[in-house]
C-alpha cells in the first residue's frame, strides 16, 4: 500500500525527530474523584511531542528529540527516560538559568471528565534557543514533528521556526500536531498568528475541530466546516489535514480532493488525555510504513484506545503487535465498551 500525499526520503538514516516540550505528568492514582481529594500521583514523562516520540520509538522507529530540560532531578529523569526508550537525546540541552520542569497534574473525575492542571511558569522547555537546533540532525531525518505549545514564547518560538527552515531545506516531511494549550499563551490573536505562520510550512496538520477553530479566528469559516478548514492548508504546503472529533473519530483530507473517515474503536476508557498523542504516533507510523491513509488512521485510532485504557500517556504507548492485536480483537467483537 502506498500514499502519495507525502513522500519520505528513504535514504535518510533517522526516521523521526520532534521538537518541543519535555515535561512531567503527575497522574492521580485515586481516580474517579476530583483533584482536591487526590492524595497520590504517579510520575511519568509527559508533554505532547515527547509522548509522540516515545510512541514512535515503541513502534520501532529510529527517533530523536530536540528540547531543553531543567537542571534538576526532573530534567535528569526525563533525559534518562528518553535514553532508556532508545530516543537520541543528544539535542536535549540543559537550562542553566534556573528554569523549572513543566508539571501537568491530571484529574480523572470519570472516564469522560478529565482535566489537566498545568504548572508552567518559567519552564525550561520554552527556553530552547534557535542556535541549539542542530541542522545536521534535521538533515538526517525523514520527518520533523512540531507542536504548537513550543510557539507560545521566545526563544522556543524562534527555535521551532529554525527547525522548520532546516526541514524545508533538507526535504524532511513536516508534521504539525496543533496541541493547543491555552494557559501557555497570552492572547488569542498572538496564538492564531503564530499557529498560522507555522502551519503554512507543514505537510501534515493534525488537530481537533476546536484547535482549528482557534486558528480560524483570522479566517472565515462560520459553519466550522472541516472541508473548508482543510482546503485552506492545501493552498500552502499541506498534503494531509486531519481533523479529530474525539470518540466520533477523525477525518483526513488529502490535497488530491479525497477524504477518509476513521471511526473510533471501542475502549474501556480510564481517562481521555493521551488520545491525541497516541493517535498521532500511530497515524504517522502507518504513513512511514507506506500504508494508505485509511489504514494509518485505523492504526492511530487503535493506538489511542490502548493509551486511554491505561493510566499513563507515555508509558502506555504500545508496540506495533499490540495495536494490530487490538484491531483484530475489536473486529472479532472481543472488545466492547
Ligand atoms: N472515548 C474514546 N473512545 C475511543 N476512541 C477514542 C476516544 N476518544 C478519542 N479516541 C480516539 O483518539 C483519537 C484522538 O482523540 P481526540 O479527538 O480526543 O484528540 P485530542 O483532543 O487531541 O486528545 P487529547 O485528549 O489527548 O488532547 C480519536 O480520533 C479517536 O480515534
Ligand atoms: O502535553 C502535556 O504537557 C501533558 C501531556 O503529557 C498529557 O499527558 C496530555 O495531555 C497528553 O495529551
Distance, in Å, from the CA atom of 327 to the CA atom of 126, rounded to the nearest integer, reads: 38
Q: Which of 33, 14, 51 is nearest to 275 (CA)?
A: 51
170 Cα: distance to centroid of ligand 1 (angstroms) = 32
Look at residue 25 in the predicted model and tell me its pLDDT. 97
Cis peptide before 219 (omega within 30 of 0): no
Q: What value does the mean pLDDT take over residues 264-273? A: 94
182 Cα: distance to centroid of ligand 2 (angstroms) = 13
Query: Does the pLDDT of residue 328 top 70, yes or no?
Result: yes
Q: Is the CB of 46 within 6 Å of ligand 2?
A: yes
Mutational pocket test of ligand 1: of 104, 149, 272, the residue with most ligand atoms within 8 Å of the beta carbon: 272
> Which tens digit of pLDDT belongs to each residue from 170-200?
999 999 999 999 988 999 999 999 999 999 9
Task: Name the grid cell of 201.
Answer: 510550512
Q: Which residue has the cell 487503535?
A: 302
Query: Does the pLDDT of residue 322 top 70, yes or no?
Result: yes
83 Cα: distance to centroid of ligand 2 (angstroms) = 20
The torsion defined by the Cα of 264, 233, 20 and 42, in degrees rounded to 10, comes to -20
Look at residue 3 in the predicted model and tell me its pLDDT. 66
Q: Which of 262, 264, 258, 215 is nearest to 240 (CA)?
A: 258
Look at residue 257 in the predicted model and tell me its pLDDT. 95
Q: If pLDDT is split at 50, 70 and 90, which confidence band does 219 have?
A: low
Q: Is the CB of 273 within 6 Å of ligand 2?
A: yes
Strands in the chain per DSSP E: 14-19, 23-28, 41-46, 63-69, 88-94, 103-110, 113-119, 141-147, 173-177, 204-208, 240-244, 250-254, 259-262
292 Cα: distance to centroid of ligand 1 (angstroms) = 21
244 Cα: distance to centroid of ligand 1 (angstroms) = 7
> Which tens digit of pLDDT belongs to each residue from 46-85?
999 999 999 999 999 999 999 999 999 999 999 999 999 9
Distance, in Å, from the CA atom of 300 to the CA atom of 320, rounded to the nearest integer, reads: 11
Distance, in Å, from the CA atom of 336 to the CA atom of 330, rounded to the nearest integer, reads: 8
Least confident span in 29-33, 129-133, 203-207, 234-238? 29-33
Query: Does the pLDDT of residue 112 top 90, yes or no?
Result: no
Query: CA 27: distance to chain centroid?
Result: 18
Q: Which of 12, 97, 27, 105 is nearest to 61 (CA)?
A: 12
Query: Percent of the chain beyond pLDDT 70?
Result: 99
Atom of ligand 1 nearest to the CA of 337: 3
pTM of structure? 0.97
Q: If pLDDT is split at 50, 70 and 90, which confidence band does 1 have?
A: very low
Residues lining ligand 1, CB < 6 A?
208, 244-247, 249-250, 264-265, 267, 269, 272-277, 279, 301, 304-305, 308
User: Terminal CA-to-CA distance of the chain, rounded, Å?
Assistant: 31
DSSP-assigned states of every residue in 233-244: HHTTT-SEEEEE
Amino acid at each position: 500500500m502506498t500514499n502519495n500525499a507525502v513522500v519520505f526520503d528513504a535514504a535518510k538514516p533517522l526516521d523521526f525527530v520532534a521538537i518541543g516540550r519535555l515535561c512531567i505528568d503527575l497522574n492521580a492514582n485515586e481516580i474517579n474523584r476530583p483533584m482536591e481529594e487526590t492524595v497520590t500521583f504517579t510520575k511519568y514523562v509527559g508533554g505532547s511531542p515527547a509522548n509522540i516520540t516515545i510512541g514512535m520509538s515503541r513502534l520501532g522507529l529510529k527517533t530523536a528529540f530536540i528540547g531543553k530540560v531543567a537542571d534538576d532531578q526532573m530534567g535528569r529523569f526525563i533525559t534518562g527516560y528518553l535514553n532508556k526508550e532508545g530516543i537520541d537525546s543528544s539535542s536535549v540541552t540543559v537550562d542553566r538559568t534556573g528554569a523549572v520542569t513543566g508539571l501537568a497534574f491530571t484529574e480523572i473525575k470519570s472516564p469522560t471528565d478529565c482535566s489537566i492542571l498545568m504548572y508552567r511558569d518559567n519552564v525550561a522547555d520554552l527556553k530552547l534557543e534557535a542556535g541549539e537546533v542542530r541542522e545536521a540532525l534535521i538533515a538526517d531525518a525523514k520527518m520533523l514533528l512540531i507542536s504548537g505549545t513550543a510557539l507560545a514564547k521566545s526563544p522556543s518560538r524562534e527555535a521551532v521556526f529554525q527547525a522548520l527552515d532546516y526541514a524545508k531545506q533538507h526535504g524532511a516531511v513536516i508534521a504539525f500536531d496543533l496541541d493547543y494549550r491555552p494557559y501557555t499563551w497570552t492572547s488569542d490573536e498572538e496564538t492564531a498568528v503564530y499557529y498560522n505562520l507555522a502551519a503554512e510550512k507543514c505537510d501534515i496538520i493534525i488537530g481537533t475541530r476546536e484547535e482549528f477553530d482557534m486558528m480560524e479566528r483570522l479566517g472565515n469559516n462560520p459553519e466550522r466546516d472541516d472541508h473548508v478548514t482543510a482546503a485552506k492548508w492545501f493552498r500552502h504546503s499541506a498534503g494531509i489535514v486531519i481533523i479529530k472529533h474525539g470518540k466520533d473519530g477523525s477525518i483526513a483530507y488529502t490535497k488530491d480532493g479525497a477524504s477518509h473517515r476513521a471511526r473510533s474503536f471501542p475502549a474501556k476508557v480510564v481517562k481521555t488525555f493521551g488520545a491525541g498523542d497516541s493517535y498521532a504516533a500511530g497515524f504517522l507510523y502507518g504513513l512511514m510504513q507506506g500504508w494508505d491513509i485509511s489504514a494509518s488512521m485505523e492504526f492511530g485510532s487503535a493506538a489511542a484506545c490502548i493509551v486511554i485504557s491505561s493510566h499513563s500517556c507515555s508509558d502506555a504507548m504500545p508496540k506495533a503487535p499490540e495495536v494490530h492485536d487490538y484491531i483484530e480483537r475489536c473486529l472479532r467483537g472481543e472488545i466492547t465498551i
